Amino acid sequence: MQAIDCPFGFSKALDFDPTLAGFMERDSLGTIRLPYGESDAWLVTSFESVQQVTTDPRFSRAEIIEYDYPRLTAEPIVSPESINVMDPPHSSRIRHLATQAFTPRQVDRMRGRIGLLTDRLLDEMEDAGQPADLVRYLSDPLPQHTILDLLGIDRAEWPRMQEQVQRLLVVGAGNRDVARAAKEDLTGYFTGLVAERRKNPGTDIISVLTEARDGTDQLDDRELAVLALTFTLSGQDTATCQISDIVYLLLTRPKLAEYARAHRKDLTDFIHELLRYIPFRKGVGIPRVALEDVEMDGVVIRQGDFVHVSYLTANRDPDRYPDPHEIVPDRPVAPHMTFGWGGHRCIAVPLAMAELEVALERLLDRFPTLRLAVRPDEVRWDTETIRRFPLELPVAW
């Protein structure tokens, strides 16, 4: 079968990409061609096959850094030393130590900070008067402020950090050198910060991780700096895009907003159902490479072949979720793949969920009559990056 071009470039509100829908209906396995990298890649679409690829050690992340692997951006977003491209036992070791930053006790403390940051942003939105752009006042800044605040970074440094992160995330060949310089600048900055926190620890994530232990094992300075950079990169646009997409759904489907207000104690499960539904990216993430021939769904994936998984199609697998293309607010809980799966599942899920919950709770509490100030078809959607999100959400209350 001929390879399909990816990113799929589809950005019509939160409609599911028809190319991807056709792909998953035909096969649970096909091939895609990405703008950068040396070859085509497999795309695995069903829940079960994605589960297999993400948990089977014959598919390696670490090995891809040896190659010009198929990807969406000119410069790979992740550094070769980043956790995203490690295999066990290295990845398990770092993950075990790093998740000590997201224990229930730590996340409770973070929830308090997120509440303060959210209130401050919503105060500014209220002061600016209506209509106000909710992306500008809430979804854009909150995840940035949250991660920078939790890493204990001085407010004066925030604009520079935000600028560098944006430089890293833009798709396009012309961006390669800019992205590389931004990555170096950020790594250097975090290296200095780690040294400082070892001397003067506080309550921030970096300080907490200087104390993280597994027996006698600890993270060294370089590992800590790379982790801090990884958190900064991973924790911003993902959450921004989800806050905007969730709010867009609530503002354009009043029944969902009604449900959220009437079922506050079920808010977490409801958010999970929205996360399952939201097609939050235009393509794929980081691939794996097959270390040996592997047979899957009647096809042989050859040693050296690159394999991408689609968490988006897995989330719409009819064998797993009845009526997969519907939002069913009280759907019986069945874990979704929006945070990934297996050995590289998001390590900050408790923090990500705390952000989404606090943002939504505060919005529902403070703006009981929140509504879209334009027609839904007037909302403009991003076409420049690898994610899917509204550029603006003009709201009134």
Q: Does 45 bind ligand HEM (CB under 6 A)?
A: no
* 8 A C-beta contact, residue 96 and residue 214: yes
Q: How far is the CB of 275 from ligand HEM (least distance, A)?
A: 7
Interaction between residue 339 and ligand HEM (CB under 6 A): yes
CB atoms under 10 Å from CB of 248, counted, come to 23
The residue range among 19-27, 133-141, 188-196, 343-351 that interacts with ligand HEM, by the rule CB under 6 A, is 343-351
Residue span 347-366 as binding mask against ligand HEM, x where in contact by CB under 6 A, dash where not: xx--xx--------------
Does 238 interact with ligand HEM (rule: CB under 6 A)? yes
Nearest to ligand HEM of 324, 340 (CB atom): 340
390, 352, 350: which is closest to 373 by C-alpha?
A: 390
Structure letter (DSSP) for residue 378 = G
Site for ligand HEM in 78-97 (CB under 6 A): 83-84, 91, 95
- Residue 344 interacting with ligand HEM (CB under 6 A): yes
CA gap 355, 110 in Å, rounded: 9
297 backbone φψ class: left, alpha, beta (φ>0; ψ -120 to 50): left
Nearer to ligand HEM, 11 or 310 (CB): 310
Q: How far is the CB of 76 from ligand HEM (least distance, A)?
A: 13
* Piece in contact with ligand HEM (CB under 6 A), picked from 69-77, 153-161, 226-234, 244-252: 226-234
Name the E strands within the chain: 4-5, 29-33, 41-44, 59-60, 132-133, 288-290, 294-296, 299-301, 306-309, 371-372, 394-396
Cα end-to-end distance, the chain, whole Å: 51
**Letter for the amino acid at 211?**
E
How many angstroms separate the CA atoms of 366 and 364, rounded?
6
Q: Which of 45, 139, 310, 338 binds ligand HEM (CB under 6 A)?
A: 338
- Round to whole Å and give the CA distance between 111 and 89: 32
Contact 383, 93 (CB under 8 A): no
Does the footprint of ligand HEM cover residue 230 (CB under 6 A)?
yes
Q: Does 107 bind ligand HEM (CB under 6 A)?
A: no
Q: Is 235 in the site for ligand HEM (CB under 6 A)?
A: yes
- The total of other beta-carbon atoms located within 10 Å of residue 220's CB is 8
Q: Output the smallest distance, CB 128 to ligand HEM, in A.
A: 26
Task: Say if CB 231 and CB 147 are below 8 A apart.
Answer: yes
Burial class of residue 38 in the structure, from the number of CB atoms within 10 Å of its CB (0-12 exposed, 13-18 middle, 19+ buried) = exposed
The distance of closest approach from Cβ of residue 292 to ligand HEM in the complex, given in angstroms and rounded to an integer, is 21
396/373 Cα distance (integer angstroms): 6
Which residue among 60, 234, 244, 385 contacts ligand HEM (CB under 6 A)? Answer: 234
Per-residue x/- marks for ligand HEM, 297-316, CB under 6 A? --------------x-----
Site string for ligand HEM, 275-294 (x = CB under 6 A): ----------xx--------
Q: How far is CA 105 from CA 110, 111, 163, 303, 362, in A?
A: 9, 10, 32, 44, 21
The piece of 42-50, 228-236, 293-301, 364-372 that touches ligand HEM (CB under 6 A) is: 228-236
Should residue 77 be labelled a site residue for ligand HEM when binding is judged by CB under 6 A? no
* 106 counts as binding ligand HEM under rule CB under 6 A: no
Q: For ligand HEM, which is the closer residue by CB, 11 or 230?
A: 230
Strand partners, 4: 32
Decide if residue 242 touches ligand HEM (CB under 6 A). yes
Residue nearest ligand HEM (C-beta atom): 340
Cβ 4 to ligand HEM shortest distance, Å: 20
**Residue 147 interacts with ligand HEM (CB under 6 A): yes or no:** yes
| Burial class for 19, CB neighbours closer than 10 Å (0-12, 13-18, 19+) | middle
- Residue range at the interface with ligand HEM (CB under 6 A); choices 32-40, 107-115, 127-135, 332-340: 332-340
Q: Can you read off the two tokens belonging to residue 144?
A: 């940035």
Residue with tokens 């950079």: 229
d(CA 284, CA 213): 34
Residues that bind ligand HEM (CB under 6 A): 83-84, 91, 95, 147, 230-231, 234-235, 238-239, 242, 285-286, 311, 338-340, 344-348, 351-352
